[in-house]
Copies of this chain bind each other. A is one copy, B any other.
């Protein structure tokens, strides 16, 4: 009532974003009002561009504006080392840390029979096709440790057991700086199981 229609419309738009409630949307809309014209035009265009320009990489399913994403088309990367991820946004975390020089494959989900998600519902066939067609030596599965994650890892390793490719998955355990008191039992169990020898006293 107190605000003109344009402002109310923008508040409604902001409220559709995750974690944005009425108050925050209002503050964001009022801030938008104070942006200069150049920022407004860039902002307005960016929203359209993100929807109309971004598609998925034909090879790895990463977000891209071209047929192949910047990682798949980068000749300097190690294309024989493949990291399997659940979601395209996971790629950004690896890239930010600058700890991985291989390429990726995004599954766009995890196998979950309980929720009716079968291997055919995620992008797993194209992974096996890549193993057949590309010169891949090692696959590192980096999906979250969970029933769905374990099921997916097991399925991939089973399907690839006859192929000449090493399949590994990232380690599960206690994260750095975490108090043992606050750990869930599943993590603790995995940390115990995957324990690492640090002395050779008994040899």
Q: Which of A3-34 contact B (CB under 8 A)?
A: 3-7, 9-10, 12-13, 16-20, 24, 26-33
Q: How far is the CB of A41 from chain B (nearest CB, A)?
A: 7
Q: Which residues of B contact A49 (CB under 8 A)?
A: 6, 9-10
Are B94 and A47 in touch, CB under 8 angstroms?
no
* Nearest-CB residue, chain B, relative to A33: B50
* Nearest-CB residue, chain B, relative to A42: B13
- Is the CB of A110 closer than 8 A to any CB of chain B? no
Query: Given that A16-B35, A32-B17, A39-B16 are known contacts, is A46 also in contact with B6, CB under 8 Å in the complex?
Result: yes
Are B44 and A94 in touch, CB under 8 angstroms?
no
- Is the CB of A69 closer than 8 A to any CB of chain B? yes
* Nearest-CB residue, chain B, relative to A9: B46
Query: Given that A17-B31, A26-B89, A37-B51 are known contacts, is A46 also in contact with B2, CB under 8 Å in the complex?
Result: no
- Is the CB of A96 closer than 8 A to any CB of chain B? yes
Are A27 and B19 in touch, CB under 8 angstroms?
yes
Q: Which residues of B contact A78 (CB under 8 A)?
A: none
Q: List A residues at the B interface (Cβ < 8 Å).
A: 1-7, 9-10, 12-13, 16-20, 24, 26-33, 35, 37, 39-54, 62-65, 69-71, 89, 91-92, 94-96
